[in-house]
Amino acid sequence: MKKKIAILGSTGSIGKSTLSIISKNIKDFEILLLSTNKNIKEINKQCKKFKPKFIIINDSDSYKKFARKNKNNCKVFNTYKDISKLKKKIDYTISAISGFDGLEPTLEIIPFSKTIAIANKESLICGWNLIKKKIVKYQTNFIPIDSEHFSIWSLLKGTNSKIEKIYITASGGPFFKKNIKQMKNIKPNQAIKHPKWNMGKKISIDSATMINKVFELIEAKNIFDIDLRNLKILIHPDSYVHAIVKFQNGITKLLIHDTDMKVPIFNSIYQNEKKILKSNSLDISKLNNLKFETVKMNQFQSIKILKLFKNVNNSLYETVLVSANDELVSLFLQNKIRFLDITKKLIMIMNLKEFKKMRQRKPKNFDEISKLNKYVRLKTHSLCVRSNRNV
Ligand SMILES: NC(=O)c1ccc[n+]([C@@H]2O[C@H](COP(=O)([O-])OP(=O)(O)OC[C@H]3O[C@@H](n4cnc5c(N)ncnc54)[C@H](OP(=O)(O)O)[C@@H]3O)[C@@H](O)[C@H]2O)c1
């Protein structure tokens, strides 16, 4: 039987990698749903090639433009609420929208998905308790796709021993060799060029500021139910090892794969099947030269934010972090703030009394998270754009 597939964010980097894996064995799949924000040119191309039953175009103007001219044999929707109209159970969904906006579609699609592979880390950070409740209720199999979390998830398979420590590796991003002074005048086109990974703009900027690693530690804390104190970041510029898990039985395992997101995506699609993914041979010279370093806090101040999350579990404070960062990255991409301001302003916002109070509040539902997200983005925007006039 053909595997029924849904891709949230099919026009992005993860979405396209997923389609490229699927296209190698297209006869094994039925594409039920593809989605985009506003890239109608790309989704039209995908429609012609993959013939999805449904597509969702989130941006209203782009939706209207596309719907008017649509000659493809598929239904087009403008909202993720319409996912219920699929009426078929999806075998495999990948959640690959970028930023906070990935949370609602992820929550909407879980009831219709047998397996959900989540790349959108922001939703795992802000809405983990809501996601967890839904995957339990609808008996949906969950697979993390972020390479580090996919690695940890793989390393935990077949082990009964408890985890003593998890080490998450970081390439250090494009500015690993620069000091603060040299990072002063960095422009968006420099910050989106990651030395090891080919990714979307938002996550590339997050890697350059290293807030991506703060996200990943919180993400790992949620998914693997482990205290932040037992999670460590190791700088590993080769990005050959993605995660190291030390167990309480004395065994330590580490996972290596090519720096290509196709590896976690491929293995999440073909979990128990003997399929072959072409990959590079084991690189002995890299293995003989594995270099790991701890993070220099004075170079990447964003890591300090982790201290604010001590004893914080699935609260609304995580939404403050993700929302303020989403807004700051967007302002930087529009050249409205400077590179170093992203972290500086983020730390300032996280320390505001009205937001620190959120550490004690657990999100009850999506609307509560969404309302806070809008408020934090507005506040961040007004604080940063106003304060910039004085710079
Ligand atoms: N790329 C990686 O290697 C990687 C690795 C680990 C984790 N992740 C995570 O995976 C997620 C996707 O990353 P990416 O690099 O693939 O991002 P990306 O290339 O920017 O693609 C994002 C996708 O989401 C869609 N989208 C953006 N805003 C939307 C909105 N408001 N509503 C609906 N759809 C929207 C985009 O549509 P348009 O094309 O119209 O903009 C695009 O299809 C992120 O959360 C990221 O942190 C990525």
What distance separates the 2 farthest-apart alpha carbons in the chain?
A: 63
Beta bridge partners of 5: 31, 92
Q: Please give the angle made by the CA atoms of 57, 63 and 66, to the nearest 5 degrees.
A: 110
Distance CA(179)–CA(174), nearest Å, equals: 12
Q: Is 9 in the pocket of ligand 1 (CB under 6 A)?
A: yes
Q: Is the pLDDT of residue 226 over 70?
A: yes
Q: CB burial class (10 A; 0-12, 13-18, 19+) of residue 22?
A: buried
Q: Which atom of ligand 1 is nearest to the CA of 212?
A: 47
Asked whether the beta carbons of 297 and 347 are under 8 A apart, the reply is: no
Q: What is the mean pLDDT of residues 344-357?
A: 98
Q: What is the pLDDT of residues 288-300, one digit of tens each?
A: 999 999 988 888 8
Q: Which atom of ligand 1 is nearest to the CA of 37?
A: 40
Q: Tokens 């191309």 map to which residue?
A: 45
Distance CA(58)–CA(197), nearest Å, equals: 27
Q: What is the pLDDT of residues 23-58, one digit of tens each?
A: 999 999 999 999 999 999 999 999 999 999 999 999
Asked whether the beta carbons of 175 and 186 are under 8 A apart, the reply is: yes
- Residue 76 phi, psi (nearest 5): -115, 130
Ligand 1 midpoint to CA 98 (Å): 3
C-alpha 244: how far from its chain's center?
A: 20
Q: Is 43 in the pocket of ligand 1 (CB under 6 A)?
A: no
Q: Where in the chain is the domain with CATH 3.40.50.720?
A: 3-145
More confident residue, 194 or 379: 379
Q: What is the pLDDT of residues 242-282, one digit of tens each?
A: 999 999 999 999 999 999 999 999 999 999 899 999 999 99
Q: Which atom of ligand 1 is nearest to the CA of 123?
A: 45
Lowest mean per-residue pLDDT among 33-47, 77-91, 134-148, 240-254? 77-91
Q: Is 121 in the pocket of ligand 1 (CB under 6 A)?
A: yes
CB within 8 A of 55, min separation 6: which ones? 33, 34, 35, 36, 43, 47, 74, 75, 76, 77
Q: Is the pLDDT of residue 71 over 80?
A: yes
pTM of the model: 0.96
**Superfamily name with CATH number, domain 3-145:** NAD(P)-binding Rossmann-like Domain (3.40.50.720)
CB within 8 A of 286, min separation 6: which ones? 238, 240
Q: Is 14 in the pocket of ligand 1 (CB under 6 A)?
A: yes
What's residue 391's pLDDT? 41
Q: Is 203 in the pocket of ligand 1 (CB under 6 A)?
A: yes
What's residue 80's pLDDT? 92
CB within 8 A of 86, min separation 6: which ones? 6, 32, 33, 53, 54, 112
Distance CA(168)–CA(230), nearest Å, equals: 11
Distance CA(370)–CA(269), nearest Å, equals: 30
**Residue in 145, 172, 376, 388 with CA at minimum distance from that of residue 292:** 172
**Residue in 49, 82, 48 with CA at minimum distance from that of residue 63:** 82
C-alpha 157: how far from its chain's center?
A: 22
Q: Is the pLDDT of residue 187 over 50?
A: yes
Q: What is the mean pLDDT of residues 14-25?
A: 97
Q: Which atom of ligand 1 is nearest to the CA of 62?
A: 40
Residue 390 pLDDT class (50, 70, 90 cuts): very low
Lowest mean per-residue pLDDT among 69-73, 122-126, 181-185? 69-73
3-state secondary structure of 231: strand
Residue minimizing CA distance to atom 35 of ligand 1: 37
Ligand 1 midpoint to CA 337 (Å): 22
Q: Where in the chain is the domain with CATH 1.10.1740?
A: 315-391
Q: Is 151 in the pocket of ligand 1 (CB under 6 A)?
A: no
Give the CATH architecture of domain 315-391. Answer: Orthogonal Bundle (1.10)
Residue minimizing CA distance to atom 43 of ligand 1: 9
